[in-house]
Structure 1
């Protein structure tokens, strides 16, 4: 019990301490006009109140990630708590805040555009590919997983395909509506269900007759029943709730509806902390109610949705347990919708098709949904595996973009560079070792080769950043006609 309570307390304290430092390091300007005010279009750029933006951000980033991921992460044992706490405070929440705020300073630009501006044009194309792949996988996963949960609540015989089609219809209608109607009207209700059900499960764990596994020297070990290594496995299994690149595709969308830069810490950093709390609850519940073999068997039988059902009913009873399951269902429904909406925006920006008429919106939206529909027939666990890899690659790219921003601005860039280096190494090792990559297994070649590749990438990245920094120095002799900081990056100057 105390591991869970202290962990949740640490997350909250992290928001008020390290979160405050991250905000100060960035330097929000409450007097600066936001994209919602400057570019208001009644579709994607619409001013909304702080509390509504925060709820939308939470539901957008949550999905089934902070539920399914921690359930599967619980197979490693109580060590999962450590990654959630430290990953959330020092990596995930920093990632979300910085990307959201840099987007805010750039008219709500999505990650590919920011990569093109602060790194180079070639990187923009790479990031665009990964962002589109990630969002397509996320959208598909967040059709399949809520469909399975909904089917479990309905009478036997209701076909899964029918539920999937109905979810796509809901997504299609919501995607073309203005954001304040598609999300602003419905999400507060979804948010209330999520928050209440999460609190109910957490309190039931604390005050119920359940033995919660504590993190001690004796339990600080790898308990995975299949013997999967903690590194890099757990950092890809528990992504949402600790560190997730998917969030880098969602924060820019919310940056287009914010009315004041001071809202950033609560909306971006704070909602990531809230997601971390949700992840802690589901790890604790999985460890308290099941042993590793039972948990593994339930996951292997389908998805983690079976665990969600069992936990909810066991802790809250049939009636309130069903409400809790509904609370989990709204997570992927909201995140799936936001994933497809973000994908539409990214594709439209990339091919330069302004989203100002219904035919233009549908011309991009319909093909996306057709591709996603066929992907729903692919095994969920395969989709999840590729989603995890693409997700963390996107997180690394977002951290490198925001590190470059801080570096050019003369701020403390180590706050994003350190987690960026760690996750870059994890991504490279994962690619070298896993079957979806080179299949080398967790050998010395994978670890040392990963270290060498990571260092080469960082050396190129650092050299390019130093060259960019030199161009911003008015006293430097530049090749291209003494370009000034105002010419290259006006937002780095005009933010006071």
Structure 2
């Protein structure tokens, strides 16, 4: 495959001026959201000066104290990869209305989700998300979440090994094709899963995190200062934009743009960094801050996609013709030249790899928590890491992965739903006022409607009409909210029990 053939005729033609009110308004909202709503979430959680797990019992493997800036960049790359780029480009096919989901999804949903999953883990000695859900949602949910999390993480790890291997294979001589590069990537995954968190992840992730930010800022700057491009504005007409393929906005858009707004996968990654915090005061910067940064990256790429290709139709055509990796490469090289090409290659190849390795690492930690296996032992870490990578290799080479991967999007948002409900129960259990608990319960209700509606209407789901999927999704979400209220505020508070949290 030759990258210089990826240009789509007509991309980026002049439109006579650059209007950017909506883009800057959304950007400002995201930044202000971090300093206001993020601060409120932190206050509600009541962070204090207790010892963190990394300080209380560092083991040199997973519980490793790190500096705040390093943890923040690692967390950003853990949760991001290509998610806020690919998802945002696909979501932009619904037009600038996607800006609203990115902004308010990040501030009210994703930031809360990531902060709670990370800080609940920190309060529970760095436990994985499956164990946290079990503590607050019961034994049945513990088993479901353990299986669900491991399967989801292996799915992510495999997809983020096959995809990059294919891209590298296209750019190298046939003698070292996809199979060779897949083996190389899986060997790297074994090392990243097995070795202490500060040896590989702690050293190279901050570098790639900076590259991800630079690429986004470069794209934004090139679009904004070039009068040849006109950013779409969020007007009343924007709400009537029809997806080029006729896909319904509800709930397809809210699942398509996951990592740029809210993603359950983040909850599997936050505990990794919760084991590295040296102070609870770092939580807002690391968890909520990384999510806001990801939202900004998603906003930039959503705007860039629909602007560069002059509309949702040409953007959709470009994605079909080039694939999302080709679209990223074309936009980057056209707007940023050779530097953009290098950053684009890092984006489409290195970033998914850095999400895949932490997916396998998180799977190891989930299984270790499940069976109470001490991970300070080299032999015990190896006994978990090696089989996970063997399973990943088998799936990558033997199963129809393109079909299986379709279910990841729904599984991802369903996990986000469960984590938010867990956060709401956590807040209730420890005496937070009702309004505080609803900071998690309301986005949980929204994501309940999204998840149910999507699986009912999606091609990989039940393929029901919207006349059925919409009301059933709303009823399901309402039922979840009612159940939460009944199980918490209506019943006696004492019946809720207590959870074991470090004093």
- Distance in 1 of aligned mates of 2:272 and 2:97: 34
Shift of 1:489: 2.6
| Counterpart-to-counterpart distance in 2, 1:296 and 1:231 | 18
Q: 1:62 aligns with which of 45, 70, 80?
A: 80
Of 231, 243, 246, 2:265 maps to 246
Please give the TM-score of this superposition, normalised by the length of structure 2: 0.90
**Closer/same/farther in 2, CA of residues 384 and 83 from structure 1, 3 Å limit:** farther
The equivalent of 1:350 in structure 2 is 370
2:12 corresponds to which residue? none
- Give the Å deviation of 1:146: 2.8
In the alignment, the residues of structure 1 paired with residue 64 and residue 235 of structure 2 have an alpha-carbon distance, to the nearest angstrom, of 49
Equivalent residue number for residue 381 of structure 2: 361
Aligned to 2:392: 372
Question: Partners of 1:204 and 1:151 in 2: how far apart?
Answer: 30
Out of 134-143 and 75-84, give the one that drifted further.
134-143
Q: 2: CA distance between counterparts of 1:446 and 1:81?
A: 24
- 1:6 is displaced (CA, Å) by 1.9
Q: Which of the numbers 118, 128, 132 marks the counterpart of 2:136?
A: 118
Decide whether the 8 Å contact of 1:115 with 1:124 is kept in 2.
Answer: yes
Query: Cα offset for 1:381?
Result: 5.2
Q: Distance in 2 between matches of 1:207 and 1:376?
A: 43
Moved more, 82-91 or 371-380: 371-380
Describe the shift of the 1:298–1:54 C-alpha distance in structure 2 as closer, same or farther (beyond 3 A): same
Question: What is the CA-CA distance between 1:132 and the residue it aligns to?
Answer: 1.6
- Hey, which bits of structure 1, 4+ residues long, moved more than 6 A? none
Is this contact kept in 1: 2:89–2:302, CA < 8 A?
yes
Residue 452 of structure 1 aligns with which residue? 475
Q: How does 1:125-164 map to 2 (within 5 A)?
A: 125-151=143-169, 153-154=171-172, 158-164=176-182
Corresponding residue to 2:422 among 401, 411, 418: 401
SS at match of 1:186: helix
1:32 aligned partner = 50
CA deviation digits over 1:87-110, x for unaligned, max 9? 001100111011111111100111
Find the aligned partners of 1:212 and 1:156 in 2 and give their Cα distance: 41
Question: What are structure 1's unaligned runs of at least 5 residues?
Answer: 474-484
Mapped to 1, the partners of 2:168 and 2:314 lie a distance apart of 23
Instruction: Go from structure 1 to structure 2 and tell me whether the alpha carbon gap of 1:64 and 1:148 turns closer, same or farther (over 3 Å shift).
Output: farther
Structure 2 distance, partners of 1:433, 1:426, is 11
Cα distance, 1:374–1:302 mapped onto 2, change above 3 Å = farther
Structure 1 position 321, deviation (Å): 2.3
**Which deviates the most, 460-469 or 208-217?**
460-469
Residues 420-461 of structure 1 show CA distances to partners (whole Å, capped at 9, x for unaligned) of 00100111111222243322132x222222233333344444
Any stretches of 5+ residues in structure 2 without a counterpart?
1-19
**Cα deviation per residue 1:55-77 (whole Å; 9 max; x = unaligned)?**
11001000211111111111111
> Could you tell me which residue of structure 2 aligns to residue 477 of structure 1?
none
Structure 1 residue 469, shift from structure 2 partner: 5.6
Inter-partner Cα distance in structure 2 for 1:472 and 1:262: 32
Partner of 2:246, secondary structure, is coil
> Secondary structure in 2 aligned to 1:180?
coil
User: Structure 1's 352 and 302: CA in aligned 2 closer, same or farther, altered over 3 A?
Assistant: farther
Contact 2:395 2:401 in 1 (8 A): no
Q: Which residue of 2 aligns with 1:233?
A: 252
Alignment RMSD (CA, Å):
2.1
Provide the C-alpha distance between the structure 2 equivalents of 1:468 and 1:376, rounded to a whole number of angstroms: 48
Offset at residue 226 of structure 1 (A): 0.6
8 Å Cα contact 1:149/1:325 also seen in 2? no
Offset, 1:155: 5.7
Q: TM-score, normalised by structure 1?
A: 0.91
SS for the counterpart of 2:259 is coil
Matching of residue 186 in structure 1 with residue 201 in structure 2 = no
Structure-2 residue corresponding to 1:482: none
Cα distance, 1:441–1:382 mapped onto 2, change above 3 Å: farther
| Contact persistence 2:156–2:356 (CA under 8 A) | yes
SS of residue matched to 1:173: helix
**Post-superposition shift, 1:387?**
1.1
Q: Which residue pairs with 1:255 in the alignment? A: 274
1:343, distance to aligned residue in structure 2 (A): 0.6
Separation of aligned partners in 1, 2:353 and 2:288: 22
Work out the CA distance in 2 between the residues paired with 1:90 and 1:220: 21
Farther off after superposition, 131-140 or 430-439: 430-439
User: Matched residues in 2 for 1:468 and 1:106: separation?
Assistant: 26
Could you tell me how far 1:341 is from its partner in structure 2? 0.3
SS at match of 2:319: helix
Aligned partner (choices 153, 165, 188) of residue 183 of structure 2: 165
1:203-282 → structure 2 map (5 Å cutoff): 203-208=221-226, 209-282=228-301
1:36 touches 1:256 (CA, 8 Å); kept in 2? yes
Equivalence for 1:478? none
**Shift in Å at residue 265 of structure 1?**
0.5
Distance 2:104 2:321 in 1: 31
The residue that corresponds to 1:387 in the other structure is 408
Q: What CA deviation, in whole Å up to 9, does each residue of 1:270-310 have, x standing for no partner?
A: 01000001101111111012243433234334641111111
Q: What is residue 4 of structure 1 aligned with on the other side? A: 23
Contact 2:72 2:287 (C-alpha < 8 Å) held by counterparts: yes
Q: Is the 8 A contact 1:429 1:446 kept in 2?
A: yes
When structure 1 is superposed on structure 2, of 402-411 and 270-279 the one drifting more is: 402-411
Inter-CA distance 374–222: structure 2 relative to 1 (3 Å threshold): farther
- Whether contact under 8 Å (1:303, 1:381) holds in the other structure is no
Find the counterpart in structure 2 of residue 287 from structure 1. Answer: 306
